[in-house]
Chain A
């Protein structure tokens, strides 16, 4: 569904982002420097792939609250495989992603099979996976170090680590999946009116299970990115990440009611949130101020988007 309104939406978000960059450029001395943007580029991939999965789930009318915990669990599994079992990265990384996929599959089967609202199912999995993550890691931070750091090292010509193009690839693929495939169309349709889709003879359950599976697997991918950047696996990682991802998705123009949204928009939402975070940190803002400003910007962005939508709805 890439059409003119979508493009104008993305354009609007880019403007918002530029405004934030300009503002911090004025306020913080060294904000407009290459270092800021390489740091940002390093930080974006994990949140971006999580937001991509979340977008697909939200478009289909669901929500996945478990992503943060699933990410921590996958990170712990990755850390364990590398440090304790001495697995090579080539085997440990797929294992981490599979772990995420398994958690996602559980979410999907419970949601679609037992017809429990995804809010409740994933809320449950949020707790379960956090617990598993503590159990797997023995509540200990696992240091991996040199084994995984190459992933986070800047690539020779790009100046950014390999995780950045990888995340972009994920985002673009997810966008294409959403707008150009039958599966994506089914997600949009289910998010609009699941009953009508079922009565059109479409297997809504399969689509729903698949979308949660994807979201889980992408949380696994995010875990690999995050662990690579920090060189260690933190069983406490990703607390509250689901809320950041939902905020990014909503800022990106996806409706929490389902039925409409875009992955590229969510990427821009992630960009806005991460830039805000980086800028406030560079300003040395106090914790209370950080929280208030971040909350304010989320509300303002969503309100502005709602206003824009209403204005354009009045026109046709």
Chain B
């Protein structure tokens, strides 16, 4: 326990270094870092982060970004090279040690404890206490302040973290980092799970920290974020630093080429969009925290997008269509068939529905098992005869998925745990693209996936519907919805508030997502955005 735990309130930011003129000192210098597992992951990487700058790190999935960040953040060790902090070598053997040196990190994979409350998660390492008892009142008031910072002020701080969606968890994780005193903040794909509004709030926080001379190392795959926050962009390719640009105004083509290490194939743009017969019909479905019943239909050949803010109910909707959660009423059917037994993912799969879950680590992957086992989990019946596994056909299928989606791994027998975040995502997606479903429910299908692979995935989804499939796709990225969807349904507080077909603008969709929130006077005021939030 540090002395902070008993101090009266949080003092998140070191105010001593408030914006000074002139060239900023480096908060961290990385010199010639190398790291290898069975293959080299980082080779002689050098970079620095200056006080008050946002240094963006880009690179394809598996390029080594998270590994580099983990080494700086004390979670991993380099084979060679050194890290200088104020010109002195930094030795941090744990995240905690790094934190005491003023380095705070938000990991790509969320590391919160689902059974504890949001408040406890926020301050787990420095719970306010007296005589060994947790001081709940102080804890909760501090937690409320921390959450307000990331726009989660309507969230009850005593809620068990496990009840939150991925986006909200990500915000909690960010809030937790913002509460720490730091000079270097590392953010590993913080916006992958966030939607427009939350990204705005995060950026506002980043700018505030910048003004306080905090250096920020920011990892992202979203090119459109660069002009808005980047002071400097570095590109990693196969573990090497291949380019560095000042400022965020870099041509996208150029970056993509740097990341891919040469030529890029452009997937052919989607062609004919012909909607066929109704494939997925959802009638009056309700359950969970949703108060109103929802109905929707998706035709063969169609990709329907779901837009909305974090917590708008997109994931809940997809899960109850698939039967992952129990629903109270309503029916789901495929191609006019009989209603699917509710609450049974097995029945949904049998009827031809597949679901790519939002939380790939808990709902999708068998982390300690191999890529092969994960890739073929939903299709074992195809790779077996009379219950006997056909190892060869299984292997061929797994290898096919790896090539088609460009999964970077040391072979299909490598445990999925050892893959980079984006590549893990590709394995789960590959499983479902290969599963022979007719309807695919995708929850953030390209979360954490690099720009090139994202284009590939979009092309695959288009091909899937061109073959007569139907896709219902939830995404927080409007650019993604624009790129693949034929129609977009906007959700807010668990219901549809608008529908857009053809051409639409980001502003229209965002506005729709907010309108409901402001107009729904009375109905469930507990979840309303606070008035002053405008």
* A adjacent to B, CB under 8 Å: yes
Binding site for B on A (CB under 8 A): 3, 180-183, 185-186, 188-189, 192-193, 195-203, 259-260, 315-316
Q: Which residues of A contact B418 (CB under 8 A)?
A: 316
How far does the alpha carbon of A316 sit from the alpha carbon of B354 in the complex, in Å? Answer: 33
Nearest residue (CB) in A for B349 is: A201
Cβ A199 vs Cβ B324 within 8 A: yes
Q: Which residues of A contact B38 (CB under 8 A)?
A: 315-316
What are 12 pairs between A and B in contact, CB < 8 Å?
A: A182-B381, A182-B387, A182-B389, A185-B380, A188-B369, A189-B369, A193-B366, A196-B364, A196-B366, A198-B324, A199-B364, A200-B345
Task: Enumerate B274-308 residues with CB–CB distance to A below 8 Å.
Answer: none
Which residue of the partner chain, among B369, B387, B414, contacts A183 with CB atoms under 8 Å?
B387
Which residue of the partner chain, among A183, A185, A195, contacts B363 with CB atoms under 8 Å?
A195
Within the complex, the shortest CB–CB distance from B30 to chain A, in Å, comes to 23
Nearest residue (CB) in A for B362 is: A195
Cβ B377 vs Cβ A188 within 8 A: no
Within the complex, the shortest CB–CB distance from A205 to chain B, in Å, comes to 10
Q: Which residues of A contact B367 (CB under 8 A)?
A: 192-193
Cβ A193 vs Cβ B365 within 8 A: yes
Cβ A201 vs Cβ B364 within 8 A: no
How far does the alpha carbon of A180 sit from the alpha carbon of B391 in the complex, in Å? Answer: 8
Within the complex, the shortest CB–CB distance from A277 to chain B, in Å, comes to 33
Cβ B387 vs Cβ A181 within 8 A: yes
How far does the alpha carbon of A280 sit from the alpha carbon of B414 in the complex, in Å? Answer: 43
Q: Which residues of B contact A188 (CB under 8 A)?
A: 369, 373
Cβ B381 vs Cβ A199 within 8 A: no
Residue B378 at the A interface, CB < 8 A? yes
How far does the alpha carbon of A250 sit from the alpha carbon of B350 in the complex, in Å? Answer: 37
Task: Enumerate B330-374 residues with CB–CB distance to A below 8 Å.
Answer: 345-346, 348-350, 354-355, 357, 362-369, 373
Interface centre among A182, A198, A260 (most CB of B within 10 A): A182
Interface size class of B (residues with CB under 8 A): 20 to 34
How far does the alpha carbon of A260 sit from the alpha carbon of B369 in the complex, in Å? Answer: 9
Q: Which residues of A contact B384 (CB under 8 A)?
A: 181-182
Nearest residue (CB) in B for A177 is: B387
Given A189-B373, A202-B377, 17 new contacts (CB under 8 A) = A180-B389, A182-B380, A188-B369, A188-B373, A189-B369, A193-B362, A193-B365, A193-B366, A195-B362, A196-B362, A196-B364, A197-B366, A197-B377, A199-B324, A199-B357, A201-B346, A259-B369
Interface centre among A188, A202, A260 (most CB of B within 10 A): A202
How far does the alpha carbon of A57 sit from the alpha carbon of B364 in the complex, in Å? Answer: 22
Q: Which residues of A contact B355 (CB under 8 A)?
A: 199
Residues 307-337 of chain B: 1 if any A CB is under 8 Å from the residue's CB, otherwise 0? 0000000000000001010000000000000
How far does the alpha carbon of A260 sit from the alpha carbon of B367 in the complex, in Å? Answer: 12
Cβ A201 vs Cβ B389 within 8 A: no
Residue B410 at the A interface, CB < 8 A? yes
**Chain A contact residues, majority secondary structure:** helix
Within the complex, the shortest CB–CB distance from A177 to chain B, in Å, comes to 9
Cβ A192 vs Cβ B387 within 8 A: no
Cβ B388 vs Cβ A181 within 8 A: yes
How far does the alpha carbon of A183 sit from the alpha carbon of B387 in the complex, in Å? Answer: 7
The 9 closest A-B pairs by CB, nearest first: A201-B349, A192-B366, A200-B378, A200-B377, A182-B384, A182-B380, A201-B346, A193-B366, A181-B387
Residue B133 at the A interface, CB < 8 A? no
Cβ B388 vs Cβ A180 within 8 A: yes
Residue B431 at the A interface, CB < 8 A? yes
Within the complex, the shortest CB–CB distance from B444 to chain A, in Å, comes to 15
Q: Which residues of B contact A202 (CB under 8 A)?
A: 346, 377-378, 380
How far does the alpha carbon of A260 sit from the alpha carbon of B373 in the complex, in Å? Answer: 13
Interface centre among B350, B357, B366 (most CB of A within 10 A): B366
How far does the alpha carbon of A3 sit from the alpha carbon of B345 in the complex, in Å? Answer: 32
Q: Which residues of B contact A197 (CB under 8 A)?
A: 366, 377
Interface centre among A180, A185, A199, A203 (most CB of B within 10 A): A199
Which residue of the partner chain, among B354, B368, B389, contacts A192 with CB atoms under 8 Å?
B368
Cβ B345 vs Cβ A199 within 8 A: yes
Cβ B368 vs Cβ A201 within 8 A: no
Interface centre among B38, B350, B368 (most CB of A within 10 A): B368
Q: Which residues of A contact B373 (CB under 8 A)?
A: 185, 188-189
Nearest residue (CB) in B for A193 is: B366
Nearest residue (CB) in B for A201 is: B349
Which residue of the partner chain, among A180, A185, A260, contacts B368 with CB atoms under 8 Å?
A260
Cβ B350 vs Cβ A199 within 8 A: no
Q: Which residues of A contact B387 (CB under 8 A)?
A: 181-183
Cβ B346 vs Cβ A203 within 8 A: yes
Provided the pairs A188-B373, A196-B362, A201-B378 are in contact, do residues A181 and B389 lie with their beta carbons within 8 angstroms? yes
How far does the alpha carbon of A242 sit from the alpha carbon of B418 in the complex, in Å? Answer: 35
Within the complex, the shortest CB–CB distance from A120 to chain B, in Å, comes to 19
Q: Which residues of B contact A316 (CB under 8 A)?
A: 37-38, 410, 414, 418
Nearest residue (CB) in A for B355 is: A199
Task: Enumerate B413-445 residues with CB–CB distance to A below 8 Å.
Answer: 413-414, 418, 431
How far does the alpha carbon of A186 sit from the alpha carbon of B363 in the complex, in Å? Answer: 15
Cβ B369 vs Cβ A201 within 8 A: no
Q: Which residues of B contact A186 (CB under 8 A)?
A: 380
Cβ B389 vs Cβ A185 within 8 A: yes
Within the complex, the shortest CB–CB distance from A222 to chain B, in Å, comes to 25
How far does the alpha carbon of A206 sit from the alpha carbon of B381 in the complex, in Å? Answer: 16
Which residue of the partner chain, among B365, B366, B380, B381, contacts A259 with CB atoms under 8 Å?
B366
Cβ B365 vs Cβ A196 within 8 A: yes
Q: Which residues of B contact A192 (CB under 8 A)?
A: 366-369
Cβ B350 vs Cβ A201 within 8 A: yes
